[in-house]
Amino acid sequence: MKIKSARFIISAANRSQYPTDSLMHIALAGKSNVGKSSLINAITGRSKLALVSSEPGKTRLINFYLINESFYLVDLPGYGYARVSKAEKQRWGSLIDEYLANNRQLGLIIMLADIRHDPTTEDMQMAEWVRYYNIPVIIAATKSDKLGKSRVKPRALQIRKDLGFSDDVMIIPCSSVSKQGIEELNDAIGSFVEESSSS
Ligand SMILES: Nc1nc2c(ncn2[C@@H]2O[C@H](COP(=O)(O)OP(=O)(O)OP(=O)(O)O)[C@@H](O)[C@H]2O)c(=O)[nH]1
Ligand SMILES: [Mg+2]
């Protein structure tokens, strides 16, 4: 998929602030610091589109980016950030749940998991939500540049299994640093958008 345009639209705190058109949403979900914002920049080839930070918990609202005037990449707030209050964690839960529930525009979830780490309880909850709401999913195993080449594939397969997804769920090892898997992910999104708009 060639990225012809990519622009930030809005940071939404609740449903009333989502864009009001009927374009498809492709949402990125995953732990805080897993690399969601970096991946949005890598996929779009716009290094400053989404705000990247080494300080976890940077993205706390739902950020919408309009791509090629035809669909949204949606950066969901990261979870599992230890230094936030219980109230903040609950706020996160309701923000995400409100986003996922009854969202007819949500066509695909890209679930990110750090290739080095085992899924956490919150990753498992996210995976359960995805299955419960029956949303098509692609897993992105991020930061593959941090592992030796021979460990990348086996780790990716293990993560998919641990998250409880079957073999027909696509998993793509990727890195916003080395750019491994970025083109594959970009193409997977492109095909998905194309198929959905022609059906
Ligand atoms: N080595 C490596 N570092 C990465 C990669 N992707 C992101 N990072 C680093 O990880 C940190 C967090 O990246 P972000 O993209 O801000 O992560 P996020 O998931 O958006 O985080 P929140 O907004 O807090 O939920 C930054 O320091 C990035 O530079 C990657 O593929 N490889
Ligand atoms: Mg972010």
pLDDT digits (tens, 9 = 90+) for 55-102: 655 557 899 999 999 999 999 988 876 667 778 777 778 888 899 988
Ligand 1: atom nearest CA of 60 is 23
Question: Which residue's CA is the closest to the ligand 1 atom numbered 30?
Answer: 143
pLDDT of amino acid 78: 86
User: Which of 8, 32, 33 is the pocket-test mutation for ligand 1 (most atoms within 8 Å of CB)?
Assistant: 33
Of 69, 13, 65, 15, give the one whose Cα is nearest residue 36: 65
User: How many angstroms separate the Cα of 177 from the Cα of each of 51, 143, 181, 191?
Assistant: 15, 8, 11, 24
As to burial, measured by CB atoms within 10 angstroms (0-12 exposed, 13-18 middle, 19+ buried), residue 90 is: exposed
Is a pLDDT exceeding 70 seen at residue 22?
yes
Ligand 1 center to 54 CA (angstroms): 7
Share of the chain above pLDDT 70, in %: 95
- The answer to whether 115 and 199 are in contact (CB under 8 A) is no
Pocket of ligand 1 (CB under 6 A): 32-38, 52-54, 56-59, 78, 142-143, 145-146, 175-177
Which ligand neighbours the alpha carbon of 77 most closely?
Answer: 1
Please state, rounded to an integer, the average pLDDT across all residues of the chain. Answer: 92
Nearest CA to ligand 1 atom 27: 54
Query: Which percentage of the chain shows pLDDT scores above 90?
Result: 75
163 CA → ligand 1 middle, Å: 21
Angle at which helices 86-100 and 121-132 cross, to 10°: 20
Residue 77: is it exposed, middle or buried by C-beta count within 10 angstroms (0-12/13-18/19+)?
buried
Mind listing the pLDDT tens digit for each residue in 156-166? 999 999 999 99
pLDDT class for 110, splitting at 50, 70, 90? very high
Q: Is the dihedral of CA 29, 32, 35, 36 positive or negative?
A: positive
Give the contacts of 46 (CB within 8 A, at least 6 positions apart): 3, 6
Q: Collapsing DSSP states into helix, strand and coil, what is residue 94?
A: helix
Residue for token pair 């949204």: 72
What integer is the mean pLDDT of 143-147?
98
Kindly identify the ligand whose nearest atom is closest to the C-alpha of 47.
Answer: 1
Could you tell me the pTM of the whole model? 0.94
Calculate the CA dihedral of residues 20, 74, 126, 103 and round it to 10 degrees: 20
Is the CB of residue 9 less than 8 Å from the CB of residue 65?
yes
DSSP string, 25-40: EEEEEEBTTSSHHHHH
Domains and CATH numbers, the chain: 6-198 (3.40.50.300)
Say how many Å lie between the CA of residue 199 and the centre of ligand 2: 32
